[in-house]
Structure 1
Amino acid sequence: MESLKLVKFEDLKKLTESCKPEKYVIIDVRNPGELEKHGKLEQSINIPLKEIKSLEESSQSEFVGKLNLQKISKEDHIIFHCRSGPRAIFAALVFLKFGFTNISIYSGGMLDWKAYGGKIQKVTSENVFFLYRIHTYQN
């Protein structure tokens, strides 16, 4: 099994501000209500841990299909984050189980991102469900 890598604030900030065409996906595993309350990292997509856990015992095709992961290859750099870390680790382990190989955990989570002054996108009740699982990432 592949191992998980840790990403620190400086590295994630550099990656999100870079003009390099590196392909990566930031997956926020917090609940939609947390996004509304605290905002989100600008380039992140939301796949709540509860949904990932519900598919843990599913087939590969069901996992990819229900989480709408068709545009994400198993080699793309996937960075998980949550509020403080534990949920991101659990989600990453599930993705490893399904063969995704380039996985990192943002070690500080949203608390760290906010504390260091990272850019936060405001999420309102009108757009929280629109943002839920929209898969946009760098090409």
Structure 2
Amino acid sequence: MPSFTSLAIPALYQSSRILAPRSMAALRHAQFSAKAAQKPEIVTYEEIDSLVHGKDHEKVVLIDVREAGEVAKGVIPTSHHVPLGSIQEALALPDKDFEERFGFKKFGKDDEVIFYCRSGKRSGMAFDLAKQLGYKGVRNYSGSWLDYEAKTGNTSK
């Protein structure tokens, strides 16, 4: 009489061959769905326009990383100012100290945060730094102020 092992192993192998393709398809679908739920790291003007004119500005933190002199020439509505030179220190501050220094509530590591600057270079640096520090919801408006200004007709003073 054959042993249990000699009968069970071929049966398990056969069932795994039948079920595996379905399992892999389900796994691929789950991975695709998770990626689809994540927003792209680069933000478009249309998203910024929607943010400025919609109710999402309460859910999304828009941060201008330009210097004070540049900010004085114009800003994207609903944005907050944290100069690039202060970003690393700002992200390390306790919530209360951050709010006292910058005048708005500090965002969490999973909150959606969009950085912008004049042309996208400094906002990209802020984005990279935040990612390195574990902020998962950060994004970069790569067109930044120049793109926004051109598309809205706002001009610097």
Give the TM-score taking structure 1 as reference length: 0.69
In the superposition, relative to structure 1, how do residues 20 and 78 fare at CA in structure 2: closer, same or farther (>3 Å)? closer
From 81, 91, 100, the counterpart of 2:135: 100
Matched-pair contact (CA < 8 Å) for 1:4–1:103: no
In the superposition, relative to structure 1, how do residues 39 and 20 fare at CA in structure 2: closer, same or farther (>3 Å)? closer
Q: Give the percent of matched residue pairs that are identical in Structure 1 and Structure 2.
A: 32
Which letter maps to 1:96? Answer: K
Aligned residue pairs total 114
Q: Rg bigger for which structure?
A: 2
Give the structure with the larger strand fraction.
1
Q: Secondary structure at the match of 2:113?
A: strand
Give the TM-score taking structure 2 as reference length: 0.62
The equivalent residue for 1:80 is: 115
Distance 1:10 1:109 in 2: 12
Matches within 5 A, 1:1-139: 5-20=41-56, 23-36=59-72, 38-53=73-88, 55=89, 63-65=92-94, 67-68=98-99, 71-117=106-152
In the superposition, relative to structure 1, how do residues 118 and 95 fare at CA in structure 2: closer, same or farther (>3 Å)? farther
- Tell which has more relative contact order, 1 or 2 (C-alpha 8 A, sep 6+): 1
**How far did residue 114 of structure 1 move?**
0.5
What 5-or-longer segments of structure 1 have no aligned partner?
A: 124-139
Distance 2:67 2:120 in 1: 14
Which letter maps to 1:27? Answer: I
Q: Which runs of 4+ in 1 moved over 2 A?
A: 19-22, 64-71
Matched-pair contact (CA < 8 Å) for 1:75–1:102: yes
What 5-or-longer segments of structure 2 have no aligned partner?
A: 1-38
In the superposition, relative to structure 1, how do residues 77 and 119 fare at CA in structure 2: closer, same or farther (>3 Å)? farther
